[in-house]
Amino acid sequence: MTVDIGYDLSDIHKQHNDLNISELSNAVDTPVQNMAVAEAYKNYAVGQTLIFATTVKHAENIAELIDGAVVVSAETPNRNEIIQKFTNREIPCIVNCMVFTEGTDMPLIETVIIARPTRNASLYTQMVGRGLRLYDGKKSLLLIDCVGVTGKLDICTAPDLFGIDKIPKSIKKEKINGKLLTEIEEIINEESAKMPDWKINAQLVQIFETNGKYDTHGINFVMLPNGDMTCSVGDGQIFKIFAEDMAGNSSAVLTYKSTVFREIPTAPMQEILDEIYQILVCDYQESIYLWDIKKVQKWGSYPATDSQKNMICRKMKKSDLKNIDIENLTKYEASVLIGQIFG
């Protein structure tokens, strides 16, 4: 589950494949937020709990607020003794600073709390992995992500680790705060099924270009709620580019009536955009009026065709159609809706 404890990481800079540790420490190690971590432990943690902190001082400050908690750092001399007492349930909670990311024999961990934000997928996996070992009587692992405001930073969270789509920006954080992964996935699926506001689609693509410093080559992409992008090339064929992962990579597929018949393997997002453009230029000149945004803008203001309207009506639920003035759609608006429907 995710618990919003008020972290504000919007001004933190990236460093190598993670975050600037000094800036991160200043942002998360505050009395209010440390108390919020302690409250998350008291309200949600189950059984033997391991908390990951940013620095030794951060770990100490959190541990002071939790009854019976013990701090373990690289300087702790009696780590094996502490681990044994933890396994014997004599110590309920250990707060550590990057000591137990790997290689420690510590199978009885029933709750992991991530109070050390990271954009490094490997590090995040290692932290969570501490709690995934089997132990007699242990039924499951409770994973608690301590989150907040991230700005433009992509921070690893539980949904990333378990293959759940990125959380659309249209979902307010209050809606997923404290939710289990299965509940978050259901919320994301419901949001992704909603129709986009086609009137702002071009703006969303422009924001994607600006924030990521990408060149979309003027392709008429439809931006989906989960960050994926689609482009129709006619005859039921749709290109889909998947939202970039933590490392800035993506992949793409070409589908025909929802069946994948061409795949573009994982690569940096700009390389995916470049390859899609090359495919369109070489193989889809006859449908350039569908994928070239400049050409689309020329005909897009004309009324939608009967064929477009019929396709939308066939594929959309009646409840969704109530919110759309089908008869007054433009060709461009209809094309965006179709891109969403088949996305």
Confidence of residue 170 (pLDDT cuts 50, 70, 90): low
Q: DSSP class of residue 244?
A: P
pLDDT of residue 149: 62
Q: DSSP class of residue 117?
A: -
Q: What is the rounded radius of gyration, in angstroms, for the C-alpha atoms of the chain?
A: 24
- Residue 239 to residue 263: CA distance in whole angstroms: 10
pTM: 0.54
pLDDT tens, position by position, 151-162 = 555 677 666 665
Q: Which of 11, 53, 12 is nearest to 29 (CA)?
A: 53
Q: What angle do CA 132, 67, 41 make, to 5 degrees?
A: 45
Domain spanning 2-191: CATH superfamily: P-loop containing nucleotide triphosphate hydrolases (3.40.50.300)
**Block residue for tokens 């992509």:** 154
pLDDT tens, position by position, 211-250 = 788 999 999 888 877 788 899 888 888 999 998 876 788 9
Q: Are 237 and 255 in contact (CB under 8 A)?
A: yes
Every domain of the chain and the residues it spans: 2-191, 195-341
Q: Are 229 and 207 in contact (CB under 8 A)?
A: no
pLDDT tens, position by position, 81-129 = 888 999 999 999 999 887 766 556 678 889 999 888 887 777 878 888 7
**Block residue for tokens 């954080």:** 173
pLDDT of residue 199: 58
- Residue 75 to residue 99: CA distance in whole angstroms: 10
Counting residues of the chain whose pLDDT is more than 70, the rounded percentage is 78
- Residue 343 to residue 341: CA distance in whole angstroms: 6
pLDDT of residue 343: 53
Q: Measure Cα distances from 111 to 76, 131, 319 in Å.
A: 22, 7, 42
Residue 13: is it exposed, middle or buried by C-beta count within 10 angstroms (0-12/13-18/19+)? exposed
